[in-house]
Amino acid sequence: MENLLIIIPTYNERKNIKNIIEEISVIEIKANVKISILIVDDNSPDKTWEYVENLKRQFNFLNLLKREKEKGLGKSYIAGINWGIERGFGYYLLMDGDGSHSPKYIVEFIKYLESGYDYILGSRYLHGVSVVNWSITRLFISYSANKFVRVLLGLPIRDVTSGFKAFTKDVIKKINPEKIKSTGYAFHFETTFLAYRSGAKIKEFPIIFIERRQGKSKLSKLIIFESFLKVFQLKIKSIFGYFKAK
């Protein structure tokens, strides 16, 4: 049975992170897999990294990777994955550090990993829309963007932009995260696209996504623009046979 590494990138999440860690500690007792948490912090001005360093005394499964220079969500995840590979983890789970992804779903991720799936997505759009506390405008933008990416890239997946996901070490070998250049939220659909094209056995299950508990969203116009360009880049590369077909 493989050990699970939960990778949580943070930037100014001091007010949220302890609650998430405490909830995961309860899940670890229920789960049939040894869980470790890695907080990847981009040198947060609110000193989230310092707070996590202190929390390590209370939670022995908690680890910290503080980055001084490289910024961005995608790069944080890749740094965390490389950290886990070096230490021999077999399962990886990615989740937000703002409380929007409930730790209660971790048990379900583990269940699907153990049953033979390679890549599992917690889906907001599998059965309609399962989002709490979003404005109509934000919900429309998110749903439309997700559908745009899904249709253009030909993915039979309802929530291709989901950031709540788990996968095996074998998937990491197939998609090679070092080749992923997305720094923002495009990282999520890029990894899902690469996993699908590599022939990974994919599973979606429904989750309820709840808007962050405290703090501000990191979504910016630059991140949206990067995501828009990335969709077309992936499409063009797939047309010219750049990716391994299923």
- Would you list the domain boundaries of the chain? 4-239
Closest CA to 188 of 211, 160, 210: 160
Q: Quickly tell me which residue has 């405008």 as its tokens.
A: 137
pLDDT exceeds 70 at position 245? no
pLDDT exceeds 90 at position 239? no
pLDDT exceeds 70 at position 117? yes
Q: What average pLDDT is seen over the chain? A: 89
pTM, full prediction = 0.91
Instruction: Return the pLDDT at 244.
Output: 56
* The dihedral sign for the CA sequence 13, 230, 105, 135: positive
Better pLDDT: 212 or 182: 182
The single-letter DSSP state of residue 18 is H
pLDDT exceeds 80 at position 224? no
User: How far is Cα 84 from Cα 35, in angstroms, rounded to an integer?
Assistant: 12
Question: Residue 191 half-sphere exposure, CB side, CA atoms within 13 Å?
Answer: 33
Instruction: Return the pLDDT at 137.
Output: 86
- For residue 4, give the amino acid letter: L
Instruction: Return the pLDDT at 183.
Output: 80
Q: Quickly tell me which residue has 């886990």 as its tokens.
A: 84
Are 130 and 209 within 8 A, CB to CB?
yes
pLDDT-wise least confident of 39-43, 67-71, 230-234: 67-71
* The dihedral sign for the CA sequence 148, 196, 91, 181: negative
Instruction: Return the pLDDT at 246.
Output: 47
CATH number of 4-239: 3.90.550.10
Instruction: Return the pLDDT at 212.
Output: 63
